Amino acid sequence: MTTAPILRSVADLRAMVRGWKAKGETVGVVPTMGALHDGHLSLARAARRDCARVITTIFVNPKQFNNPEDLKKYPRTEEADAALLATVPVDVIFAPPPEEVYPEGFVTTVSVGGVSEPLEGRMRPGHFDGVATVVTKLFGMSMADRGYFGQKDWQQLQVVQRLVRDLNLPVEIVGCETIREADGLAMSSRNRQLTPEGRLKAPVLYAAITRAADDIRAGHADRMAIREAAEAIRAAGFDRVEYIELRDAGTLMPSSDVTRPRRMLAAAWLDGVRLIDNIPV
């Protein structure tokens, strides 16, 4: 199988996309930080179905890491990523070096209010500014018609949707379902940082919030169901539960309004690795 060309510069990417657009072809972009797994590939496959041309970007964005240690140990597996993308296949991989994305003199930040403030925004100051800035840049660089994002990062998906609406960016956002391992663990590049013992405990995060959501639907009190989920996660050997919250699915504000879609979102630490997950309630 031939792997897609890997472009490193914005000028090369633009030249390629201009050629496609001149022929009237629709362009989809799938932004990733690499260390690809089936979750990422499901986004690329969705783009492949909808668009004549598919770009996957691989860029470990330093601006969205609030912890330098986390940035340093983030997995980088470009060759394996290119081989996986060849199975989709995608048309091009855009993997720029940091100085191509943030050249000297770069001073602009895109900051989304409201939806980016609670939960991940509170726990990871600056994280969503980094995401919003790089996503805006990737849309500008790629001139894509559609952008593909995973529900795995539910809050991020809401932030990107808000950003596109607020700035009138000419790109349609497509949110794709969370892909899970057979035992329920949401696929994540961070899962490979778990110890073998940690990997066995990790599915409890999903199991516990699923149980809580079922209990709430069956009429149990929100607070009680959430407390039981947190206890189950701690009892399984997680180091810490950062949050489990039931929120309005769109605004991410606290919500007891059962007539509107709600989402349960959780973050917890296991083996020094921060895992997040979310489900509809």
List residues binding ligand AMP (CB under 6 A). Answer: 32-33, 39-40, 42-43, 149-150, 152-153, 176, 178-179, 186-189
Nearer to ligand AMP, 32 or 255 (CB): 32
Read off the amino acid at residue 61.
N
Helix axes 222-235, 204-217, angle to 10 degrees: 160
Catalytic (active site) residue 37: no
Which residues pair with residue 118 across a beta bridge? none
Q: Residue 266: which residues within 8 A CB-CB, separation 6 or more?
A: 205, 208, 209, 229, 233, 241, 243, 244, 245, 276, 277, 278
Encoded tokens for 158:
């809401």
The least CB distance from residue 189 to ligand AMP, in Å, is 5
The least CB distance from residue 30 to ligand AMP, in Å, is 7
The least CB distance from residue 183 to ligand AMP, in Å, is 13
Nearer to ligand AMP, 70 or 228 (CB): 70
The Cα 256–Cα 222 span in angstroms is 8
CB 165 within 8 A of CB 157: no
Nearer to ligand AMP, 145 or 153 (CB): 153
CB 95 within 8 A of CB 77: no
The least CB distance from residue 26 to ligand AMP, in Å, is 19
Catalytic residue among 37, 40, 127, 220: 40
Residues labelled as active-site residues: 40
